[in-house]
Amino acid sequence: MSRCLLLFLLLVQIWAAHSWQPKFHLSRAMFGTQTDDESFSMRNPDEKMNLSKDSDAKTDYIEQKLDHFDDSSQKRWRQRYYYNFKYTGGSNNIKAVFLRLGGEGPLRIGTVSNEANQMMTLAKQYGAAAFALEHRFYGVSRPTPNQSVDNLRYLSSHQALKDTAYFIQKMTEKHKLKGARWVTFGGSYAGYLEVVEDALRSQHSNECAENVRKGFQKMTSLMKTKEGREQLSKIFMLKAPLTNITLSYNNIQYFYQVIYENFQLATQYNEVNVNPYKDGYGIKQVCDIMTRGNEDPVTKLQAVNLYMARELYT
């Protein structure tokens, strides 16, 4: 009897451990999504907002294509968005429209109602209309009934940007905003430059982006040979040289992640003026390194790696 009880408790423990493992997509935890199909239809995150009945902020939905890159696909889904025309003064000739792009989490209606929010502060100042578009697969904006591997192929920045382009087009038509300038706000997605005239983004030379591309392209080429891996080990001062370990997909993936994450951090936290970023470590500093002199592009990647690591990881 005691053995049966012990076996039962062990099985429960194993089940609990596995049932609480978070799901990941593109190496990131699925914030805003659920781990089981039954709870996939998330509760409305605005239930506890207690918004007043006369609030100027409104909630609505737009019908989007599931796959913007497949003309034969007719599948549609409803994407949530918020809007607020409070600061336009009822004008029929709105000059500016501010759009907050949702990221990797549920979007709150406070995005277009809280005056302390940067976007709303500027909307009040410039008399702009305000919109906020929730990212597909987060909050209640669910394109598919579950998050199977097959369905997660529709979770991508490319699909999200197409969602944004279509949203701007339809809102322009619906609210008669032709001629108004759209300005996007958001940390993860800046918006389609083809459809957004003024994006809150930094302007930097094409040379910087091109050298980053060349650096990773050469790094990929070097990874394919023993001699190349020896060279990479020397350039990046790897304590365990790549030639001394049994390479696996995860080993290579982690190595690349450490290097490209430097550019993600510099871009995402560019000029946020807090912690180490108040003293630099943004796009300008990284691009200064990537465009200096005639150094090999892979050597420049390591220079960026050392620069970022010196302050952020010490």
CATH of residue 171: 3.40.50.1820
Is residue 167 within 8 Å of 140, Cβ to Cβ? no
Supply the pLDDT for residue 50. Answer: 41
Q: What SS3 state is found at 40?
A: coil
Residue 44 included in any domain: no
Residue 46 included in any domain: no
* Long-range pairs for 196-201: beta carbons < 8 A, 24 or more residues apart: 196/99, 196/168
Residue 157 included in any domain: yes
Q: Which residue range is the domain that position 237 belongs to?
A: 192-311
Rounded CA gap, 106 and 140, in Å? 7
| Rounded (5°) CA angle 144-185-141 | 15
Q: Are 66 and 152 found together in one domain?
A: yes
Q: Are 181 and 196 found together in one domain?
A: no
Give pLDDT < 70 ranges for the chain.
Answer: 1-54, 187-204, 272-278, 311-314
Supply the pLDDT for residue 48. Answer: 44
Supply the pLDDT for residue 289. Answer: 95
Supply the pLDDT for residue 234. Answer: 95
Residue 25 included in any domain: no
Is residue 51 within 8 Å of 135, Cβ to Cβ? no
| 262, 186, 46, 114 alpha-carbon torsion, rounded to 10° | 120
Q: Are 268 and 198 found together in one domain?
A: yes
Number of separate domains in the chain? 2
- E strand or H helix at 234: helix 226-235
SS3 string, 236-287, reads CCCCCCHHHCCCCHHHHHHHHHHHHHHHHHHHHCCCCCCHHHHHCCCHHHHH
Supply the pLDDT for residue 8. Answer: 47
Rounded CA gap, 152 and 161, in Å? 16
Stated pTM of the model: 0.57
Supply the pLDDT for residue 240. Answer: 81
Give the domain-ending residue among 156, 171, 186.
186
Supply the pLDDT for residue 312. Answer: 62
Q: Are 180 and 239 found together in one domain?
A: no
Within 8 A by CB and 6+ apart from 138, the residues are 31, 32, 33, 102, 103, 104, 105, 106, 107
Is residue 211 within 8 Å of 300, Cβ to Cβ? yes
Give the domain-ending residue among 132, 160, 186.
186
Q: Are 76 and 160 found together in one domain?
A: yes
Q: Are 260 and 158 found together in one domain?
A: no
Supply the pLDDT for residue 6. Answer: 47
Q: Are 147 and 123 found together in one domain?
A: yes
Give the domain-ending residue among 161, 186, 211.
186
Supply the pLDDT for residue 16. Answer: 40
Q: Are 163 and 226 found together in one domain?
A: no
Burial of 151: CB neighbours in 10 Å, binned 0-12, 13-18, 19+? middle
Within 8 A by CB and 6+ apart from 199, the residues are 183, 184, 190, 191, 193
Is residue 228 within 8 Å of 221, Cβ to Cβ? yes
